């Protein structure tokens, strides 16, 4: 293939080739995920995320098809709305052979269907002859299994690897095997039906004859096996396919549904809810959304917590799953190589070979400064939303240990602020959500020296202490509740004094180890509003800064202002736009009655979503200013898509615009100064559940503003309709 160059064992694609199109198709079920190109192939094209992965090992690094020795022509390719399967339509190109009659382009319709279930990838190749004569077709399937660790795929070099074992080939199957340095046996088993014409350890060939309008199918199943015992029996394609859900809640989460007259907005909602479902479905940890595919298809503490917060008003069960798992994995001892300390909440969990052999420190890693206060915040918010005292009582010891960690370990120099400095030699240097090595800096571009007190972490800590106080009061510990409230208020006063900058008209990014301000205009200050630590006057000032041309790109709020020394709109954290960041900022605006500004952020992200393939909001995109003439935002090349907190962002931004809160103490649904974005004139929300009660609402724009109609009310629930 002239489009692909091979140098030694590396493959490269010519920039002028159509194969340089890097748009991917992603499937996930449990701890197995697959990244295909648009043709449904896994092609070995140099360093790339393409492959079939199980438990963070690439079990299949190549899976391609050829028709009569040539790559078929792509017609269309899509993932079903609920992410259940990938369907691809192809046709043949002109081909000639000495052993068979010539085949004219467009004679065959080639349909591929692929999906994941229970650590297996099921594949169908269906061929239909639209010609007037019989045709003889050769279908060649090529495959490889490199068993690369996910960190290798990301670019980490290894000094040595485990042992490749002898391939096994039978009449209808091939088995690849690898025993890692962790002594775990990993196998890839590829089985075909019908029995192939020929099969070896590199390729399988089927010679088919199709009469006019005759249809024939080839089926394959790729099983990812871990350990010495084969766990999976062959299941027919039809049986496996029937296990896929045929119905799903369009534009909804766990029974609560949203509908609008806008087809574009409904598409964004549907894809977002489907992505969240996919990132949870089948996970061994239960109802815990994995952070994102491909690089973060595992548990992350911060990501899971923020995703649960984004969806809490609609779907509180996400929060319960996240809180339970993080309480169970809370650190109990000081382990410097894991950045672990008693009471600290998990940052990242990995099961890969390199994690098991400690080539990377992330097997069970605690190097985040914000997961712990966010954990307490989520517990308090969950209690407000559900009044599930029995569950909160179950995790209360973990919440108290987290609060104790904030005082004993979080505040390293006892100045009243929570700081970080890595203890693991190979751990993360920066331990806030902006964890790039160069993300925390001074106005002149100088990297801040640790220990570092981040702006948003002080706000999280303030909110965590207030949440802890509410929980303590509910559980009959008023003395603790009073102390936590006093501590929160003292922190608020110190924060205002140390972090405010009149020069920026905002809170500074951080304090360095010498308590010098990192006087940088950044989106972090918006998180202070989310936590309600700011006064009304300063909140309005911060909001103005957030929406200035330095921070607001037209597609959303940038992570760093365009006038700052390290601003780069193509960077990971120094000028890009992150949907979850914008959702938290919008929610912060809403807390201070600034729903109109929250709506401006919503509109920017909604417009961006129109340009995203499949309406899927990625982890981030570049922060270039919005151009005229209708061109979309510039994509960040290796962003995860789907990404849990990016998928959840739309639900929090909608909550922010509507000013909606759902609490179970009364129970009550309340809307404060609701503001419909300019692109929406009507919004239906059905089946908002509060305990055993529920309601359906519709909001409409009229000449005087927004009106709300209660379509259905079931059970004892108060609805504040004073909009």
**In which band, very low, low, confident or very high, does the pLDDT at 574 lie, cut at 50, 70 and 90?**
very high
pLDDT of residue 318: 96
Q: Which two three-digit tokens encode residue 513?
A: 């180890």
Residue 690, beta-bridge partner list? 693
Q: What is the pLDDT of residues 361-400, one digit of tens each?
A: 899 999 999 999 999 999 999 999 999 999 999 999 999 9
pLDDT of residue 208: 96
The span from the CA of 508 to the CA of 524, in Å, is 8
11 vs 563, which has greater pLDDT?
563
Once rounded to an integer, what is the mean pLDDT over residues 239-252? 70
Is pLDDT above 70 for 15?
Answer: no
CATH 2.60.260.20 fits 23-242, yes or no: no
User: Taking every pair of C-alpha atoms in the chain, what is the biggest distance, in angstroms?
Assistant: 89
Checking DSSP bridges between strand 108-117 and strand 173-179, what pairing results, if any? unpaired
242 vs 626, which has greater pLDDT?
626
The span from the CA of 431 to the CA of 374, in Å, is 14
Structural Rg of the chain based on CA atoms: 27
Could you tell me if 100 and 138 are in contact, meaning their C-beta atoms sit under 8 angstroms apart?
yes
Nearest to 556 by CA among 524, 587, 523: 523
Q: What is the pLDDT of residues 598-636, one digit of tens each?
A: 999 999 999 999 999 889 999 999 999 998 877 899 999
Q: What is the pLDDT of residues 205-233, one digit of tens each?
A: 999 999 999 999 999 999 999 986 555 56
Q: Give yes or no for a cis peptide into 194 (omega within 30° of 0).
A: yes
The span from the CA of 679 to the CA of 697, in Å, is 19
The mean of the pLDDT values for the chain is 93
Contacts of 619 (CB under 8 A, 6+ apart): 292, 578, 636, 639, 640, 641, 643, 646
- Chain centroid to CA 203: 35
Is pLDDT above 50 for 637?
Answer: yes
Is pLDDT above 60 for 480?
Answer: yes
Burial of 373 per CB tally in 10 Å (0-12, 13-18, 19+): buried
Q: Which two three-digit tokens encode residue 459?
A: 């706000």
Is pLDDT above 60 for 338?
Answer: yes
Nearest to 483 by CA among 407, 398, 545, 572: 407
pLDDT of residue 245: 64
Nearest to 39 by CA among 84, 95, 92, 106: 92
Strand, helix or coil for residue 352 = coil
* pTM of the shown model: 0.94
Q: Specify the length of the chain in residues.
A: 723
Could you tell me if 620 and 576 are in contact, meaning their C-beta atoms sit under 8 angstroms apart?
yes
Nearest to 578 by CA among 447, 445, 678, 433: 433
Is pLDDT above 80 for 535?
Answer: yes
pLDDT of residue 248: 55
Mean pLDDT lowest among 1-5, 116-120, 199-203, 555-559: 1-5
Mean pLDDT lowest among 139-148, 152-161, 539-548: 152-161
Checking DSSP bridges between strand 718-720 and strand 668-671, what pairing results, if any? parallel
HEC-encoded secondary structure of 23-63:
CEEEEEECCEEEEEECCCCECCCCCCCCEEEECCEEEECEE
The span from the CA of 271 to the CA of 249, in Å, is 11
pLDDT of residue 246: 56
**In which band, very low, low, confident or very high, does the pLDDT at 236 lie, cut at 50, 70 and 90?**
confident
The span from the CA of 375 to the CA of 345, in Å, is 7
pLDDT of residue 11: 44
Percent of the chain with pLDDT over 90: 85
Each domain of the chain, given as residue ranges in start order, spans: 23-242, 252-658
Q: What is the pLDDT of residues 27-40, one digit of tens each?
A: 999 999 999 999 99
Q: What is the pLDDT of residues 166-196, one digit of tens each?
A: 999 999 999 999 999 999 999 999 999 999 9
**In which band, very low, low, confident or very high, does the pLDDT at 16 lie, cut at 50, 70 and 90?**
very low
Q: What is the pLDDT of residues 67-112, one digit of tens each?
A: 999 999 999 999 998 899 999 999 999 987 666 778 999 999 999 9
Percent of the chain with pLDDT over 70: 94
**In which band, very low, low, confident or very high, does the pLDDT at 251 lie, cut at 50, 70 and 90?**
low
Once rounded to an integer, what is the mean pLDDT over residues 689-715? 93
Q: Which two three-digit tokens encode residue 481?
A: 């509740």
Is pLDDT above 60 for 357?
Answer: yes
The span from the CA of 370 to the CA of 428, in Å, is 13
**In which band, very low, low, confident or very high, does the pLDDT at 270 lie, cut at 50, 70 and 90?**
very high
Is pLDDT above 90 for 164?
Answer: yes
Is pLDDT above 80 for 647?
Answer: yes
Is pLDDT above 80 for 348?
Answer: yes
Q: Which two three-digit tokens encode residue 550?
A: 């330095």
CATH of 252-658, one of 3.40.50.720, 2.60.120.650, 1.50.10.10, 1.10.10.10: 1.50.10.10
Q: What is the pLDDT of residues 288-325, one digit of tens each?
A: 999 999 999 999 999 999 999 999 999 999 999 999 99
């Amino acid at each position: 293939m002239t489009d692909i160059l091979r140098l030694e064992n590396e493959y490269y694609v010519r920039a002028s080739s159509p194969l340089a199109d890097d748009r991917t198709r992603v499937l996930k079920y449990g701890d197995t995920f697959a990244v295909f190109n648009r043709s449904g192939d896994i092609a070995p094209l140099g360093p790339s995320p393409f492959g079939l992965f199980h438990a963070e090992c690439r079990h299949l690094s190549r899976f391609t098809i050829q028709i009569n020795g040539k790559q078929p022509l792509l017609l269309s390719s899509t993932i079903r709305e609920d992410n259940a399967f990938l369907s691809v339509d192809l046709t043949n190109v002109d081909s000639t052979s000495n052993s068979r009659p010539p085949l004219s382009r467009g004679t065959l319709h080639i349909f591929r269907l692929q999906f994941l279930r229970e650590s297996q990838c099921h594949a169908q190749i269906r061929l239909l002859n639209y010609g007037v004569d019989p045709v003889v077709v050769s279908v060649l399937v090529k495959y490889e299994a490199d068993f690369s660790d996910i960190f290798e795929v990301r670019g980490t070099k290894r000094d040595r690897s485990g042992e490749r074992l002898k391939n096994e080939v039978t009449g209808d199957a091939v088995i690849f095997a690898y025993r890692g340095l962790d002594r775990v046996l990993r196998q890839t088993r590829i089985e075909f039906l019908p029995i192939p014409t020929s099969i070896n350890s590199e390729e399988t060939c089927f010679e088919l004859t199709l009469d006019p309008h005759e249809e024939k199918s080839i089926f394959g199943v790729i099983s990812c096996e871990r350990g010495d015992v084969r766990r999976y029996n062959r299941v027919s394609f039809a049986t496996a396919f029937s296990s896929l859900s045929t119905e799903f809640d369009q534009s909804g989460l766990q029974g609560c549904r949203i509908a609008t007259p806008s087809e574009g907005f409904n598409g964004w909602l549907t894809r977002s809810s489907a992505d969240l479902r996919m990132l949870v479905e089948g996970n061994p940890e239960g109802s815990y959304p994995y952070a994102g595919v491909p690089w973060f298809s595992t548990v992350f503490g911060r990501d899971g917590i923020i995703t649960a917060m984004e969806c809490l008003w609609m779907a509180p069960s996400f929060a319960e799953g996240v809180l339970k798992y993080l309480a169970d994995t809370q650190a109990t001892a000081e382990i410097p190589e894991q950045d672990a300390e008693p009471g600290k909440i998990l940052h990242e969990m990995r099961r890969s070979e390199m994690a098991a052999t400690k080539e990377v420190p992330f097997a069970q890693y605690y190097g985040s400064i914000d997961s712990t206060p966010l954990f307490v915040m989520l517990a308090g918010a969950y209690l407000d939303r559900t009044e599930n005292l029995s569950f909160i009582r179950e995790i209360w010891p973990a919440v108290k240990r987290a609060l104790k960690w904030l005082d004993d370990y979080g505040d390293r120099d006892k100045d009243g602020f929570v700081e970080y400095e890595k203890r693991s030699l190979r751990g993360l240097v920066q331990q806030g959500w902006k964890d790039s090595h160069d993300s925390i800096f001074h106005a002149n571009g100088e990297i801040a020296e640790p220990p570092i007190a981040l702006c948003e972490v002080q706000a999280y800590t303030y909110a965590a202490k207030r949440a802890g106080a509410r929980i303590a009061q509910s559980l009959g510990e008023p003395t603790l509740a009073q102390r936590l409230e006093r501590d929160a208020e003292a922190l608020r006063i110190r924060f205002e004094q140390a972090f405010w900058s009149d020069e920026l008209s905002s809170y500074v990014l951080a304090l360095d180890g010498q308590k010098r301000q990192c006087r940088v205009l950044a989106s972090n200050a918006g998180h202070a509003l989310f936590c309600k630590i700011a006064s009304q006057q300063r909140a309005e000032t911060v909001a103005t800064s957030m929406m200035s041309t330095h921070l607001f790109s037209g597609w959303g709020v940038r992570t760093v202002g365009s006038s700052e020394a390290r601003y780069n709109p193509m960077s990971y954290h120094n000028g890009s736009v992150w949907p979850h960041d914008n959702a938290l900022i919008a929610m912060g605006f809403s807390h201070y009655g600034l729903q109109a500004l929250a709506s401006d952020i919503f509109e920017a992200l909604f417009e961006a979503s129109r340009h995203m393939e499949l309406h899927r909001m990625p982890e981030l995109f570049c922060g270039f200013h919005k151009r005229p003439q209708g061109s979309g935002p510039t994509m960040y090349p290796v962003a995860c898509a789907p990404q849990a907190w990016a998928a959840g962002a739309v639900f929090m931004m909608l909550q922010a615009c509507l000013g909606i809160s759902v609490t179970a103490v009364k129970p009550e649904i309340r809307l404060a100064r609701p503001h419909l974005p300019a692109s929406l004139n009507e919004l239906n929300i059905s089946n908002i559940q509060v305990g055993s009660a529920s309601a359906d609402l519709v909001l409409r724009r009229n000449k005087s503003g927004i009106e709300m109609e209660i379509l259905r009310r079931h059970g004892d629930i108060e609805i504040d309709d004073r909009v």
